[in-house]
Structure 1
Amino acid sequence: MADLTGEQIAIRAQEFKLAYLAQQQALVAMLHPGLPLLQVMRAVTGTPAGEDLPLEVRGSRDPDTVLSFSSSRIMAAAATLRGEIIVDLTASGMFVAAIQLGDMIIQGGLRNRDVPLLEFARHFRNACAHGDRWHFARGEPRARAACRELVLTPDLHGKKATWTTVDPRLFVEFLDDLSNHFAPGLVPPPVEG
């Protein structure tokens, strides 16, 4: 993957932004007691209202073995989820994006310690990949690591990275800033309201 370009990273950051924003809306639908996601699945599969449809899970190690669940039961149970799992679910898009983009920067040979945003991306990647906690040992962060007004400092060690330090707005701004770093002008300024 050493032939990754900055433009590819910029585009992927925007794809992650779209997926993250859409995922937040899908999560609301998943938690709705009217089970709108089940209604969508019935419509897509042509399953009549009131009928259940199997939710099948397959694996590559034994493709003929299928785990089958009741979509109605799964969606009804999912609609009752509350508490910390909701925070984890809303942060999951942040985890994936931070890890993938951080890896892409490294694999593309585009890491630059002199660019605070890229150092932030590296540390954010590490935090998301290792329990959603900042880990600053042995003098880290050695180089300035910043995204917008957030400057990473050793006093963040052990603190939660997503939602506590990097909230949804800063996360979206991070994705836009990363895109514009690698492809200047790709992302126009947002409309603030």
Structure 2
Amino acid sequence: MIGRRPGRSTTRDELVEAARHEFAERGVEGATTRRIAARAGVDPGMIRHHFGSKAGLWQAVLELPFDPFRLAAPVRHAPPEEVGRVLVSTMLDLWEGPLGVGFRAMLRSAVQDPGYADGIRQFLLSRAIMPVVRRVAPESRDGEPDPERLAQRASLAASQVIGLIMARYFLRLEPLASADHEWVVAHVAPTVQHYLTGPIVDDRNE
């Protein structure tokens, strides 16, 4: 049984490095905690000890200062008819709060590094966006949801939120940049709400 090594522990760093290679080779879904631990030469329990879960380890690999799953809790718990408003309002509060610095660093890195952007996209989709889409999309209530349709809804909703962030905080487009939260939510949330719960044109059979 491989356990904690004697002396000054570098287990956490070794797990992050092993995970970085496993995620790159097998993807987030394909990489397992057992393989990552074996690559680092430690017991799999060390992942739980240092990171809590594979998602926590992935967060450490990306050097994210937050867990999107926890930050998205208000959105996941919002009534389906209010999810667009809660999503936009939550993003504005987070971006302008203490975590805003981490968000800005993350977005800059994603723009500059395609590999990092791919990791961020996978992590945000799996931890923050898709849980919301699966819960509120009409397809989820009508039967077995179509993964392609859920992906369409997720990407369209994300495009609105990311576009809002770029226009308001990076490009500083007026009057959007100086508008109060209520104005922004009133004008952006209906579009986000439509993408999450409204009808989506199906052109796949045309």
**Shorter-normalised TM range:** under 0.3
**Normalization by structure 1: what TM-score?**
0.23
Name the one with the larger strand percent. 1
